[in-house]
Structures are given as structure tokens and as C-alpha cells.
Amino acid sequence: MAASPSSSARWGFIYFHPTHTAASLSFDTIFIQDNNETTIDLRASIIHGLQRDPPELPSVIMWDAAGLSHYEALCHHPAYYLRRAEVEILSQHAACVAQTIPAHAVIIELGCGSLTKTGLLLSALAAQGKPIAYYALDLVASTLAASLRSLCTAFPAEGPVQVAGLLGSYEDCLGWIPELCGIRGTGGDIVGDGPAAATPPSIHFLWMGNTIANMELVKAASLLASFRQACAAVPCAFVVGVDGCRDEERLAAAYDMSQGPFYAFMRNGLVTANRLLGAEVFEPDLWLVQGSFDAKTKMMRFGHQTDESVTGTWIQQLVSGKWTANDVQEVADLAGFVLSKIWADEAGSYGKSSQ
Ligand SMILES: C[S@@+](CC[C@H](N)C(=O)[O-])C[C@H]1O[C@@H](n2cnc3c(N)ncnc32)[C@H](O)[C@@H]1O
């Protein structure tokens, strides 16, 4: 992969010559799941997770419509610094981030959520006069549609930035990218001679909200590598929002496990597990939301516990890595990317990086 010269503290952007024209893209939501169902078998992954030692519930089940609504409430909570930090960084540096994205590029925002920050970057791209095809990927049709509505109003069809939704999981997106690149037809057949026969666009993945760290570091690296491989001969780059805050008091306030939106978000994880299992397996009132910082893996680990004693049953459901530039460097190295730029907030703990 080509990249700009980098120091150890910078993420890399990789660009070639994009040919995908914005005009050929739809403003609608594209269903990228197989048979209208995401490729993740949620029930099976719950059962598999509960059989592990210690048991786990998959975090992906937390992101249903109710979970997203609790998460959005959390983002507006005064103690939840992550959203504000990202808005601050994008407000100051959106033009610089946009400069790393060439005209006619395709942007795919992974786990786009409410899209409240995305407009800052898209406006900067529009101000630079760049035609851009932007795709917002997330799991829930109703919330994706609601999020897209406001973005589509801000970026109408006549403008340089064209907006579309992608309904599905990261895995579904991996399966869809060859189609986007013109490598494979919609029937799943290989068209022409494979990757070399197609003239591909460059693809830029936007992954904000510290979502990259909602999985173990090695898994995050492996997913990044899968996206790089899915793009095959097409140049690709990532811009990720990463939280490096290790201030215990700040973390405890942001992730209030006894009440408020974070508590509601966690509790909804049990409700969703019950719904997917088709039975009241967990009585939410009998479980406490618990969590702590795991210094070895630099992760906040959150889950459910029957009581606070060491003998209480513990089920982990969510991790939120608090990664420094060195950790992000490690992810980039493992995934085969070069880290070339970091834009940090005033406090220096939250970074928007590109690789
Ligand atoms: C931490 S939130 C971040 C939302 C948004 N990017 C932001 O910065 O506010 C994580 C987002 O990723 C989505 N998500 C989680 N797992 C996913 C998966 N496997 N495939 C697609 N989206 C996923 C969730 O639905 C949610 O919108």
C-alpha cells in the first residue's frame, strides 16, 4: 500500500485514482444483507457466548432501536465527553481531514448512528468542491432512515455530496464492497477477469465514536484487514475516532452504571437477549450493571452481575478500549495500514486518526 511518509504517531491515508462517479449512486438505502437478514446469526452468537468461560453476551445485540436511542441520550449527557471531543476535533480540523479525501471518492461510514457529526466532514468536502459518494452503514432500518433524512436535507441531490444508506452489518458490507468496486455483479458472479479488470474507486472508511474499540484490539485489526482485503486492488483508507482517556473519575462519570442513559443502554442488552432467545432467560431487575478498567488490555469492560461479590455470576457484554497512539499504531501494523495523521482534542485524549 502506498502512503504518505509517517512518523510513529500518525495514521496513513492511501489514495489512488477514483473513477466511481457520484452521479451513478442512489440516494436510497441499499439492503446489503443476504436474504434481507444480516449475516450475523444473533441467537446463535448469544448461545455461543453464554457457553464461554467466562460467559459473554455479544455487544452487537445492544444496537437495536431502543439501544441506539439510549446511546444517543448518553451522547448528550454532560459527563459523556466522547461526543463533544469528536465534535470539537471535526469543528477544528474537518477541512484538513477533507483534504485527505480526493474528489470522486467513496466514503463508507461504519456504524453511522445518528449522523450528527458527519455533516461537518461532508460540508468541508462540499466546500472544497469535491463530488463525493457517501454511504452510511448501520443495522436498524428505522433509525438509519431517520438519521439519513436530516443529512439528505443538508446535502441535496444537486450538490456535490451524494448520500445513501447501507443497511447491514460490517460483514454484510465486506460482502458488498466487491459490487461497489465493480468486481462482482449483483448476482454475486465475478464479472470480467476479477479485480484487475475493474477500474476501482478509492474507498474511505469513516469509523467514529470509538466504535473501533468496541472489540478487542486484535479483532479490530483483523476487521480492518478484512476491509483492506475486500477492497482488493482498490486503494482504501480509514479515518477513526479513538478515545484514549484513562482518567478514572472522568470514566466513572461518563459510564454511570447505576442510573441514567448508560445504565439503560446496558440493561437493554439483557432485554434484547431475552427477545432474541424467545424467553425470559434474564430477569433484568436481578442483575447489576458492573464494569471496570482492565489495565492489561486498556479496555473498559462492562457487563451484568448477579451481585457485587466475587462469587456473583458475571457476563461481559461491552468493551470500550481506551487506546493511546501506540495502541492505534499496533492496530494499524497488525492490519497492514500505515498510521499517518492524528488530530486530537485540546485535552489530547481523544484522537481522530487516519490510516
Ligand atoms: C458507539 S456507536 C457509534 C455511532 C456513531 N458512529 C457515533 O459516532 O455516534 C456504534 C455504532 O455501530 C453500530 N454497529 C455496532 N455493531 C455493528 C455491526 N456489526 N455492523 C454494523 N454496525 C454496527 C451501532 O448500531 C452503532 O450505531
Residue 130's alpha-carbon distances to 64, 133, 159, in angstroms, are 34, 10, 10
- The span from the CA of 343 to the CA of 354, in Å, is 9
Residue 15's alpha-carbon distances to 220, 264, 319, in angstroms, are 22, 42, 32
| pLDDT tens-digit readout, 308-322 | 777 789 999 999 999
Q: Let me know: does 211 contact 111? Beta carbons within 8 Å.
A: yes
Identity of the residue numbered 342: I
| pLDDT tens-digit readout, 12-28 | 222 222 222 333 334 47
Report which protein residue has its CA nearest ligand 1's atom 21: 169
31 pLDDT tier (thresholds 50, 70, 90): confident
Report which protein residue has its CA nearest ligand 1's atom 24: 111
163 pLDDT tier (thresholds 50, 70, 90): very high
Cβ(60) to ligand 1 under 6 A?
yes
For residue 132, give the H/E element and its range. strand 132-138
Cα 250 to averaged position of ligand 1 atoms, centre (Å): 23
Cα 112 to averaged position of ligand 1 atoms, centre (Å): 6
- The span from the CA of 52 to the CA of 40, in Å, is 18
In the predicted structure, residue 104 carries a pLDDT above the cut 60: yes
Please tell me the number of Cα atoms within 13 Å of 328 on its side-chain side.
31
Given this model, what pLDDT does residue 132 score? 92
CB atoms within 10 A of CB 240: 27
| pLDDT tens-digit readout, 193-221 | 322 333 346 999 999 999 999 999 999 99
Report which protein residue has its CA nearest ligand 1's atom 18: 169
Given this model, what pLDDT does residue 29 score? 79
Q: What sign does the CA torsion over 181, 185, 187, 192 have?
A: negative
Cα 20 to averaged position of ligand 1 atoms, centre (Å): 26
Cβ(111) to ligand 1 under 6 A?
yes
Given this model, what pLDDT does residue 311 score? 78
Cβ(287) to ligand 1 under 6 A?
no
Q: Is 36 exposed, middle or buried (0-12, 13-18, 19+ CB in 10 A)?
A: exposed
Ordered alpha helix ranges (H), the chain: 42-50, 65-75, 81-99, 118-127, 141-154, 170-180, 217-230, 248-254, 260-277, 325-335
User: What domains are there in the chain, each with its CATH number?
Assistant: 22-39+72-245+324-349 (3.40.50.150)
